[in-house]
Structure 1
Amino acid sequence: MTAPASPLRVMGIGAHPDDLELTCAGTLAKYRSLGNHVTMCHIAGGDRGATSGTRAEVARIRRAEAGSAAALIGADYINLGVSDGEVDASNEHQKLLVTEAIRTARPDVIITHSAGDYMEDHNQASALAFTASFLATLPLYESDSPPLDAVPALFYMDTMAGLGFQPTEFVDITEQLDTKREMMRLHSSQLVWLEQHDEMDVLGQISTIAAYRGLQSGVRFAEAFAPCSAHLRTRTTRLLP
């Protein structure tokens, strides 16, 4: 495949603050290092990802953490504020929210969750990204921003812990692994939450999975993806960095 002729506009759509950081932040950082525009979008506010505090307080903390992580690589940040556990691809309001976010970012490429991940918010976010990225091209599906000229290419990112995911494309993130870990470290509330709720050493997991995907693809550290091959999504150019 040939490389695209001009800088790309890239959008990551994750369910919760820190989902993109866990799964594709190395690739997003690499896109930025190559001069591409990146927008990071989380559909849910993260308001239930804590053991104490009010949901409004938790959401404020997590929005600030995610904004700091995006700023670290010079990415734009959007949070749509849906409550955790309530991401729903059949909800018309959420379809409109994601459509408007896509029209605001105007991506050539979208990266989102793979269907069949370990929690339903991830799966519904994947479906919303798929549906809304088509709706975003329809002039009579009205939102505040104008429609896109074409349906963006869509890539599915690795599942949590890589379970049930069969990648077909890889991105070498050897030079970006430290940045990815730092982006996750900025989610300090979640380092505590994931350890308490899931007994997860999340920074260790990031390194382990990157090393495993790197072993599969012949580099030291990598992230794994699968393209959406539906009509209007396929391209003849290499879009991953």
Structure 2
Amino acid sequence: MIELHTGSGPLHVVGLAAHPDDLEIACGGTLIRLSGRPGATASFLTMTGTPDREAEARRAASEVWPGADARFARLPDGRLPQLWGAVKDALHAFADARPAPDLVLAPRSDDAHQDHRLIGELVTTVWRDAVVLHYEIPKWDGDLGRTSAYVPLDEETVQRKLEILDACYPSQVHHDWWDHATFEGLMRMRGVECRSRFAEAFALHKAVLGL
């Protein structure tokens, strides 16, 4: 088992999402854990969302990471590939206005959803010197694949993540896939893979190891 440690110094995290709730579903536990580090800061950018969904995402961001800087590009849901230039511009504007991050969380570049996939493809062209962890989102498409990096989670963090999802995203609870069994089951499976009770998993394509 290879473990990657971010060290003990200040940490700046960037979280990128195509839609409100992507970050909390995929890596809410990881964000909760990282937010407890002294001096750690976070900036989130969500590409799409109605005003109501944006309000949900702002509340969720404040719960997983109090004080996080949450921003929204307000592009149309499901249409990001045809707005390639606008997406690229939004990512660069977001990056240029903030400190260089130590860690970037973004969708997988092979995600079946076109909005997720585009952000996953573009992220490493914008942030070239940060560790990029590509997160996974369970969905109808059945696109879960092999992962290469894990963040173990304890029971308390898992339950806190589930509470935030239900409390902050009432517009989504009617979906047949939205329940604790879905989210907790995936975290349990990824925990098995890294010898932990629970975990969130990521694809890590490139990293520099300071040995």
Query: TM range, normalised to the smaller chain?
Result: 0.7 to 0.9
Deviation at 1:12, TM superposition (A): 1.1
Q: Deviations over 1:62-109 (max 9, x none)?
A: 000000001112122111111101113872232111111123343221
Matched with 1:24 is: 27
Contact 2:105 2:135 in 1 (8 A): yes
Structure 1: 4+ residue segments shifted above 4 A: none
Instruction: Determine the C-alpha separation between the residues in 2 that align with 1:120 and 1:109.
Output: 23
Matched with 1:157 is: 135
Structure 2 residue runs without a partner (length 5+): none
Instruction: Determine the C-alpha separation between the residues in 2 that align with 1:224 and 1:114.
Output: 11
Matched with 1:86 is: 79
Instruction: Determine the C-alpha separation between the residues in 2 that align with 1:214 and 1:115.
Output: 23
Matched residue count:
200
Pairing 1:65-104 to 2, within 5 Å after superposition: 65-72=56-63, 73-74=65-66, 75-88=68-81, 91-104=84-97
Matched with 1:39 is: 43
**In the superposition, relative to structure 1, how do residues 2 and 223 fare at CA in structure 2: closer, same or farther (>3 Å)?**
closer
What's the C-alpha RMSD, in Å, of the aligned pairs?
A: 2.1
**In the superposition, relative to structure 1, how do residues 237 and 182 fare at CA in structure 2: closer, same or farther (>3 Å)?**
farther
Matched with 2:199 is: 222
SS in 2 for 1:97: helix
Instruction: Determine the C-alpha separation between the residues in 2 that align with 1:89 and 1:169.
Output: 31
Contact 2:22 2:137 in 1 (8 A): no
SS in 2 for 1:112: strand
Instruction: Determine the C-alpha separation between the residues in 2 that align with 1:109 and 1:102.
Output: 12
Instruction: Determine the C-alpha separation between the residues in 1 that align with 2:82 and 2:123.
Output: 9
Deviation at 1:116, TM superposition (A): 2.0
Counterpart of 1:13 (choices 16, 29, 46) is 16
The amino acid across from 2:151 in the alignment is: V
Q: Does 1:173 pair with 2:146?
A: no
Contact 1:3 1:237 in 2 (8 A): no
Matched with 2:117 is: 123
Structure 1 residue runs without a partner (length 5+): 46-58, 135-150
Percent identity over paired residues:
25
Instruction: Determine the C-alpha separation between the residues in 2 that align with 1:63 and 1:2.
Output: 33
The amino acid across from 1:156 in the alignment is: H
Q: Which has the larger radius of gyration?
A: 1
The amino acid across from 1:171 in the alignment is: V
